[in-house]
Amino acid sequence: MNPKHSRSLIALSTTALALPGIANADAPPTQNKVSYKISNYTEDDLSRREAPFGDLDRYDIDVHQFQLISPVGRNFSLQVDANYESLTGASPWFTSTGLDGEPIVSLSGASGIRDKRSELSVGTRYYLINGSIGGNIGYSEEDDYRATYFGLSGERHFNDEMTTVSLGFSYSSDDIFPTDAELFNRVVSEDKSSTSAVLSISQVINQVSTFQVALSLTEQSGFLSDPYKLRDVRPQDKTQIALTNSYRRFFVAADASLHVNYRFYHDDFGISSQTFDVAWFQNLSNSLQLVPTVRYYSQSAADFFTNVDDFLKPLSEYQSSDYRLAAFGAYSGGLSLIADLGAWTAVLTAERYVANEAYSAYAVSQPSTALVRYNRISLGFDYSF
Amino acid sequence: MNPSLKRFSINAMGGYCEFQIFDESRINAKRIVRQLTTEVRRLEQKYSRYRSNSLVTAINYSAGDKLGIKIDSETRSLFDHALTCFEQSNGLFDITAGALSRIWDFRTAQVPAQAQIDALLPRIGFNRLSWRNSRLLMPAGMEIDFGGIVKEYAADAVAKLGRRLGVNHGLVNLGGDFAVIGAQPDNQPWTVGVADPKQRDRLMAKIDLLYGGLASSGDYERCFIHKGKRYSHIVNPKTGWPCDGLRAVSVAANLCTVAGSMATIAMLKDEQAALGWLQESGLPFAAMTGEERITGEGLNEQQPESSL
């Protein structure tokens, strides 16, 4: 258009650009949305070779997730999340050495663990010119664990919404009071806190692709050990840093979208990890979408990881046989089917995850015997009204 | 045409409306359109003059009320824009002239008596509105009509919502007012046909839109001939008589709202003043003069097709 605009045009553009639907204002959702998802997570049982004695059943978790997102007035939205988990099975209690010197694992309690977790979180968001700010508070409770948390976040668009910068901050205060503490000589009551900040920048590259980079920093302090293990002594402080990169690209001819994510993580327990995942969102018809996903994960071991608990070591020295602190690699593959049924959307997802020290990209000096393999299946529904 | 272009139509705002979307995810296209439709319906419900429970009806009902009526920020912004239209047109584009459309009824095709017109003129005048904080005080008998502003604003707002919902390529058409969500893939413009005011199924011109919007104002079906003289539905609020400048004009601008204001003001001006004013703006436009001559700037020079 002609750069030499008339005074009238400039005047009319000025007031038109200030109209709320046109101004670069973020808008709250325009519809109410209710979502429900049920997931089942089942870890493969251990083999007799890995755990010659006791229970072989590992965790089996059912998760029910409920969410409501609702517009409030013209500038606010309200979000309520409620989760309920029921868990049965057992987790590694201690590790020791078998007859041939190989590490073996013993799971907790012959009768296993039965627990449930309930969580409620409420958040609100205020939408303003060029961005939004929000906050949430939440509470989570288990038989032996309680967490209270809050978060604040802000987001701002620049450059005609081509660039978005967001900043978030969250704090969680957790109390741990293990069951049967006296019977098993466990700690009676401990606490820990976690403070986290995240900065993310996303950029629209062109009409079909976007890139996002996020940096997060988390500081944990307090009781970070596993109270259920016979011997588990970890530092009282942990600093975590993570850098996540996401690339999205839409392919017009294929009518599909590619999502690629890479994450690097490091903490001062000595663990570094890398995650690489790829998802392909293929449109099949007006109302069906198929999404295959593949993920590779690998981490290095914590400095104090041992695959055989050393009960002779003084309690002042750090050690843990938690498989999550071992060096390993993991592959997972999944498939989602998304169906749009008018006001309803249904999502069915199945995933298989296998962790193994042989898959590790990092050196494995002590392989863990307790690495997990699991299946996860979930079915979710959204209803907008 | 690319197979992933999806078209959805609804009837709203007194006309045929259409959303054209090159959807990145087909599954979301319908959901997006539902949200766009919700926004159109919201604005229609809020600003329709013809609905007894609309905000505009409530505003008009408050005329003469000493306490006035509380106005929300969105409507206040529309009044602010209407003030700019009033100022930039030297009082020709006046949303407070709603009462005139009652005596100029184009279905009955009656020319009102001058006495009827004279009785209404004192009830018109944007400068007679007063504000007490967020309350609007309107003199008795005045009627607001957001015609020429709200449908255009709705097109822009819906296009903006579409962008926010992730649509990169799309076009919104609310009864002939167009707003671009995003250019067609490969940065191709949308070619919008402008209807011929004499014959609605013919085009008088085509205009390419890469961004922004296009709005039209004109006689179209809403005029009548009485004793050999054509009476337009566009009425000069100063005289109370229909304008006899341009027959129709379509303007493309950075926003459909701006295009609509420009087009409406051009219709209210004398023909020569209108054409000069449009040319000065530097915007692409197509106009039909009183002698049915088609003129314009920045038009798509391809031969107009015979249908829309």
Structure tokens belonging to residue B77: 């912004």
The pLDDT of residue A1 = 40
Chain B contact for A111 (CB, 8 A cutoff): no
Of B73, B87, B160, the CB nearest to A22: B160
| Residue B231 maps to a domain | yes
Q: Are residues B91 and B239 in the same domain?
A: no
| Residue B105 maps to a domain | yes
Q: Are residues B109 and B12 in the same domain?
A: no
Name the 3-class secondary structure at B19: strand
Of A15, A281, A283, the CB nearest to B81: A15
B66 exposure class (CB count in 10 Å sphere: 0-12, 13-18, 19+) = exposed
| Residue A144 maps to a domain | yes
Of A11, A18, A26, the CB nearest to B88: A11
Residue B1 confidence (pLDDT) above 50: no
Q: Which of B156, B187, B257 has the most A C-beta neighbours within 10 Å, making it the best mutation to test the interface with A?
A: B257
Neighbouring C-beta atoms of residue A206, cutoff 10 Å? 10
CA–CA–CA angle B40, B288, B88 (5° rounding): 65
Residue A30 confidence (pLDDT) above 70: no
Residue with tokens 């014959």: B199
Question: Could you report the per-residue pLDDT of A181-193, keeping only the tens digit for each?
Answer: 777 777 778 899 9
Q: Which residues in chain B touch residue A1, judged by CB atoms under 8 angstroms apart?
A: 252-254, 282-284, 298
The residue segments making up the domain with residue B128 are 55-137
Chain B contact for A206 (CB, 8 A cutoff): no
Question: Could you report the per-residue pLDDT of B223-253, keeping only the tens digit for each?
Answer: 787 887 878 888 999 999 988 899 999 999 9
Residue with tokens 């690339």: A247
Q: Are residues B236 and B290 in the same domain?
A: yes
CA distance B259 to chain A (A): 9
The total domain count for chain B is 2
Of A7, A9, A20, the CB nearest to B74: A20
Q: ipTM score here?
A: 0.89
Average pLDDT rounded to a whole number, residues A292-298: 97
| Residue A17 maps to a domain | no
Q: Which residues in chain A touch residue B189, judged by CB atoms under 8 angstroms apart?
A: none
Contact A286 B27 (CB under 8 A): yes
| Residue A201 maps to a domain | yes
Of B168, B182, B282, the CB nearest to A2: B282
The pLDDT of residue A188 = 79
Domain containing B122 — which CATH number? Answer: 1.10.3980.10
Q: Are residues B129 and B255 in the same domain?
A: no
* Contact criterion met (CB below 8 Å) for B36 and B9: no
Residue with tokens 């000025």: A14
Residue B58 confidence (pLDDT) above 50: yes
Q: Are residues B64 and B169 in the same domain?
A: no
Chain B contact for A73 (CB, 8 A cutoff): no
Domain containing B17 — which CATH number? Answer: 3.10.520.10
The pLDDT of residue B76 = 92
> Who contacts A368 (Cβ-Cβ below 8 Å, separation ≥6)?
A103, A305, A307, A321, A323, A326, A328, A357
Residue B207 confidence (pLDDT) above 80: yes
Contact B169 A207 (CB under 8 A): yes
The residue segments making up the domain with residue A328 are 28-384
Residue percentage of chain A with pLDDT more than 90: 50
The total domain count for chain A is 1
Domain boundary (B76, B107, B137) is at B137
Q: Are residues B101 and B239 in the same domain?
A: no
Residue A374 confidence (pLDDT) above 90: yes
Contact B29 A286 (CB under 8 A): yes
Q: Which of A22, A263, A109, A49 is nearest to B172 (CA)?
A: A22
Q: Are residues B24 and B62 in the same domain?
A: no
Q: Which of A4, A10, A19, A210 has the most B C-beta neighbours within 10 Å, making it the best mutation to test the interface with B?
A: A19
